[in-house]
Amino acid sequence: MAKALPKRSENYSEWYNEIVKRADLAENSAVRGCMVIKPYGYAIWEKMQRALDDMFKATGHVNAYFPLFVPKSFLEKEEEHAEGFAKECAVVTHYRLKTDGKGGLMVDPNAKLDEELIIRPTSETVIWNTYKNWIQSWRDLPLLINQWCNIVRWEMRTRLFLRTTEFLWQEGHTAHATEQEAVEETERMLGVYATFAEEWIALPVRKGLKSPNERFAGAVETYCIEALMQDGKALQSGTSHFLGQNFAKSFDVKFVNKENEQEFAWATSWGVSTRLMGALIMAHSDDQGLVLPPKLAPIQVVIIPIYKSPEDLATISTKVDPIVEELKAAGISVKYDDSDNQRSGWKFAEYELKGVPVRLGLGMRDIEAGTIEVARRDNLTKESRPIEGLVDHIKQLLDEIQANIYQRALAFREANTFRVDTWDEFKDQIEKGGFLLAHWDGTPETEEKIKDETKATIRCIPLDAPAEDGECVYSGAPSGGRVIFARAY
């Protein structure tokens, strides 16, 4: 018997790593900090990409592609941006190798680049350098572009999907004629991310603003969605930045407005990454493995035959084939696993590990009775029901599972969101995890001290927070509303 997964409650981090590995999502590569996304994991990512891309298109965006390399001089143009990213950049300094005469290779010292190239940690600079040529008049605006690509951030420590040296993401970069339009775009895309998280990943998120400390380097305002994982830690799942005119000024992107005046363009940028895969895994999975929301499952329904002889299998297959066809015709992705190299019990466990939302089991006993076994991954229940009307039932069931895992995650978050009013309560509760709603005096100093003492950061200032007078949980200074504190990934 294969080794059981570590228990979620005992060693969350090991449990997470095992699921990633055993469900065939990804593995560490031989390259430092980089990950190999395996076909099954990539299939889920592709579904995310497709859904997001449709949402971007529906909001007027188009895709394009910009270079991987950022000349150093580009990166240094926006001062805060440069400072924020300087510490985590991979730098290309040479363009050629040569043989060293001992069977190895060495960097050719004669092939030093005049200007170093940074492997993009994000593309604001390359893109705004290009936008300079694309934007002349208010008629060129808004410019609504997205790119799907890889980026590199040289982090000290990495974790599969949550933080890898290289990762996949999309980054939207838009230019607008007015501040208001840009702010609206920033908020619109935050809304798109929240909708995607909730409707597709079944992940409830809190929308909010980052505190100045946590703001994106070079942004005027950073909006984010924050989710709560099952171990009580927060995961920043997407960000949308209002960049003001910072990049337009740095890259001299001016347009002539309707009043015939020169004006700097207003910018936004927004991104989500393969980190969403980490969110998906951590939010829903259990001690049996991954739990996939039906909308993102590469295989929504798996059918497993239970048989003793090849003759039985043939009989079962005759019964299964039309079911497969009907499910496909209904737009449901289905796999009939009639492979003969594993026993049915093994297959049950395997597809549970991989998070397949619905499993159908069909054996000779069912054939005599005209029934089929329907098992749900989300709550691990199963029932025997007539084959009659199966497809409609499954359609409904998939919707129900999607809704159920969302509700479950929401209930978890609500049960782990606490209003905290004293510093003692704060210190006590932060050890147990969860979102802490507390008053904050609005100063970076207080935020920093809280972080030093408890490792908790302000995840966001919620957009829907009601105004509420109170006293800062740390300093006692007056505060106009509660913010969300948590320990974060």
Partner RNA sequence: CGGGGCGUAGCACAGCCUGGUAGUGCGCUCGCUUUGGGAGCGAGAGGCCGCAAGUUCGAAUCUUGCCGCCCCGACCA
268 φ/ψ angles, rounded to the nearest 5 degrees: -135, 160
Cβ at position 132, least distance to RNA in Å: 26
Cβ pair 88, 119 in contact under 8 A? no
Stretch that binds RNA, among 93-101, 355-363, 407-415, 436-444 (CB under 7 A): 355-363
Which residues are registered as beta bridge partners of 440?
none
356: helix, coil or strand?
A: coil
Contacts of RNA in 213-252 (CB under 7 A): 214, 216, 236, 239
Angle between helices 423-432 and 444-454 (to 10 degrees): 50
Stretch that binds RNA, among 104-112, 199-207, 293-301, 352-360 (CB under 7 A): 352-360
Beta strands in 398-446 (DSSP E): 417-419, 435-439
User: Which residue in 362, 438, 461, 486 binds RNA (CB under 7 A)?
Assistant: 362
- Look-up of token digits 């709560």: 228
Question: Helix-strand-coil percent breakdown of the chain, rounded to 5?
Answer: 40, 30, 35
Cβ at position 347, least distance to RNA in Å: 7
Cβ at position 363, least distance to RNA in Å: 2
Return the closest-CA partner of residue 368 out of 392, 384, 348: 384
User: Which residue in 314, 380, 415, 477 binds RNA (CB under 7 A)?
Assistant: 380
Contacts of RNA in 249-308 (CB under 7 A): 273-275, 288-289, 306-308
User: Which residue in 6, 8, 17, 443 binds RNA (CB under 7 A)?
Assistant: 17
Query: One-letter amino acid identity for 373?
Result: E
Give 1's DSSP letter. -
Cβ at position 110, least distance to RNA in Å: 26
Query: One-letter amino acid identity for 186?
Result: T
User: Which residue in 7, 9, 13, 50 binds RNA (CB under 7 A)?
Assistant: 13
Cβ at position 156, least distance to RNA in Å: 3
454 binds RNA (CB under 7 A): no
444 binds RNA (CB under 7 A): no
36 φ/ψ angles, rounded to the nearest 5 degrees: -100, 120
- Per-residue contact track with RNA, 197 to 216, x per CB under 7 A? -----------------x-x
Q: CA Rg, the chain, in Å?
A: 26
Cβ pair 361, 385 in contact under 8 A? no
User: Which residue in 74, 167, 418, 485 binds RNA (CB under 7 A)?
Assistant: 167
Contacts of RNA in 104-163 (CB under 7 A): 153, 155-157, 159, 162-163
- Per-residue contact track with RNA, 460 to 489, x per CB under 7 A? -----------------------------x
Compare residues 169 and 421 and give the one whose CB is closer to RNA. 169
- Per-residue contact track with RNA, 26 to 45, x per CB under 7 A? --x---x-------------
Structure tokens at 9: 């409650």
Return the closest-CA partner of residue 36 out of 162, 169, 160, 163: 160
- Look-up of token digits 């040289």: 154
Query: One-letter amino acid identity for 477?
Result: A
Cβ pair 258, 237 in contact under 8 A? no
Give Cα 144 to chain centroid, integer Å: 22
Residues that bind RNA (CB under 7 A): 1-2, 4-5, 13, 17, 22, 28, 32, 84, 87-88, 153, 155-157, 159, 162-165, 167, 214, 216, 236, 239, 273-275, 288-289, 306-309, 343-346, 348-350, 352-353, 359, 361-367, 373, 375, 380, 382, 455, 489
